[in-house]
Amino acid sequence: MKPTDVPSIQHSARQVAIQVVTNILLQQGSLSTQLARHQHDVASEHIPLLKELCFGVCRQYPLLNSIALHLLNHPFEEKDMDLYAALLIGLYQLGYMNTPDHAAVNETVEACRLLNKDWATKLINAVLRRYQREADDIIEALEAMPSVEYNQPKWLVKRFKKHWPEQLEQIIEASNTHPPMCIRINESQVSRETYKIQLAEQGIESQDGVLSPSALYLRSAVRVNELPDFDDGFSSVQDESAQLAAHILAPEIGERVLDACAAPGGKTGHLLEFAAAKENAEQTLDLTAVELEPWRLEKIEANLERIGLMANLQCADAGDLDAWWDGIQFDKILLDVPCSATGVIRRNPDIKINRKPAEIDELTSIQKNIVDQVWKTLKPGGYLLYATCSLMPEENEQQVAAFLATHDDAIEKPLNSLNSELDISLGLPVSHGHQLFPTVKGNDGFYYCLIQKVIA
């Protein structure tokens, strides 16, 4: 089935959620892309409900999918994926929301009519009513399935168990929760202590991050326009692990720096802020940011405009040097490669639906090509920080091991080599680099390894 676009604004949150979830089930794009495209099809006051339905269904998908398949005699065909999306949303409402049960059932049945699939109303009604009556028994019957026990795809549970048996519980628990709201303080404008006071004056309670000196966790999430001087770039929403990149690379004014896979520009902005804060200067860093996707490059532009700092933006494949590189080598490179995002499932819960094991192999070969090429743009004596938000060793320590084995001019360095103030006890030191695991109330899962190009 082709995804049909919702034709006009002011559809109900449920109708638009059905559209978004259908497109995700049909692998038509990520949750964030789909929401960006469709959220304006509902009135603004219904956007939170739309998000709750879509994020909720993705977050609970392994469980909801098992329940739905258990209750249906035959799975729906691809052309009826919209009905399946409606059913999952109905089950989510019954299981996780305060919607009265009869309303959840009736509205889902009505949704089938709006989809012009009246033939399915009886079936959907019967399935939801049975779940309503027998929920506990059904869940008990399914509990032994790994996808239900862990609420994660079976293949992913298998990999987590294999690679991280000791951290399994933590990974699963953190990956299934809502992430906390973490902000980065722009230290070139204001100190963390002062900003914390400003937040408190507005009734927003916050707590220092433990890994990144620029991180504050908010006790409850707020809209960004409630954050003091947000429009002037005094703070940005960014996970604490992600904030470590700039603290590890510690760029200085006068250095030529590359951010090779840059969008949406969270780390680009931080690299610029970091240098400006240290030098307290009017000048900014000589920073080149490369991004493959034009629409994502626009996000970097918007981010930099808000914080009032500048970079040389290039829309290109970072691995295709002819397309963007002027031949002058860089002092420092941040390589935050595209990855499986298995450390940030809680922020991208559609991974539970769409990510396939074969993609890990594809991603590792994309990463290999980018790092091999970008390495040529680094000065002898310069540093490259390899980063992912993945928990898969193939994308992380094994990728670095293969790189070091084939590059005589590369040596691994401790993560605090460029910044002695950085606490080195980050996550778990692995064979190469450090693996950070997601924590329920704190940081996302991440991986960092710092590599220096030796002077011949």
- For residue 273, state whether it binds ligand SAM (rule: CB under 6 A): no
Between CA 307 and CA 305 the distance in angstroms is: 6
Which residues contribute to the annotated binding site for S-adenosyl-L-methionine? 261-267, 291, 317, 336
- For residue 368, state whether it binds ligand SAM (rule: CB under 6 A): no
Residues of span 71-90 touching ligand SAM by CB under 6 A: none
- For residue 395, state whether it binds ligand SAM (rule: CB under 6 A): no
**For ligand SAM, the closer CB: 95 or 264:** 264
Residue 339: count other Cβ atoms within 10 Å of its Cβ: 26
Query: Which residue pairs, CB below 8 angstroms and at least 24 apart, start in 423-431?
Result: 423/211, 426/211, 426/244, 428/167, 430/393, 430/396, 430/397, 431/397, 431/401
Residues of span 286-305 touching ligand SAM by CB under 6 A: 290-293, 296
Which residues contribute to the annotated binding site? 261-267, 291, 317, 336
Cα–Cα–Cα angle for 177, 434, 440, rounded to 5 degrees: 15
- For residue 266, state whether it binds ligand SAM (rule: CB under 6 A): yes
- For residue 445, state whether it binds ligand SAM (rule: CB under 6 A): no
| R_g of the chain computed on alpha carbons | 23
Reference 20, options 46, 55, 45; nearest CA is 55
Q: Could you give the strand order of the β-sheet that contains 206-208, starting from the edge strand earlier in sequence?
A: 206-208, 215-218, 181-185, 235-237
- For residue 336, state whether it binds ligand SAM (rule: CB under 6 A): yes
Kindly state the smallest distance separating residue 201's Cβ from ligand SAM, in Å.
30
What would the x/- binding string for ligand SAM be over residues 222 to 261, using CB under 6 A?
A: --------------------x------------------x
Kindly state the smallest distance separating residue 1's Cβ from ligand SAM, in Å.
27
Contacts with ligand SAM by CB under 6 A: the residue count is 19
Of positions 54, 211, 370, 392, contacts ligand SAM by CB under 6 A: 370
- For residue 41, state whether it binds ligand SAM (rule: CB under 6 A): no
Kindly state the smallest distance separating residue 360's Cβ from ligand SAM, in Å.
15
Between CA 206 and CA 209 the distance in angstroms is: 9
Reference 404, options 433, 429, 426; nearest CA is 433
Go through the chain and tell me how many residues it has. 456
Strand partners, 388: 447
**For ligand SAM, the closer CB: 94 or 242:** 242
Shortest-Cβ-distance residue relative to ligand SAM: 261
- Which structure tokens are listed for 329? 């080598």
**For ligand SAM, the closer CB: 94 or 287:** 287
Between CA 153 and CA 360 the distance in angstroms is: 14
| Residues classed as catalytic | 389
Cα–Cα–Cα angle for 179, 183, 185, rounded to 5 degrees: 165
- For residue 318, state whether it binds ligand SAM (rule: CB under 6 A): yes
Question: Which residues of this chain interact with ligand SAM, rule CB under 6 A?
Answer: 242, 261-267, 290-293, 296, 317-319, 336, 338, 370
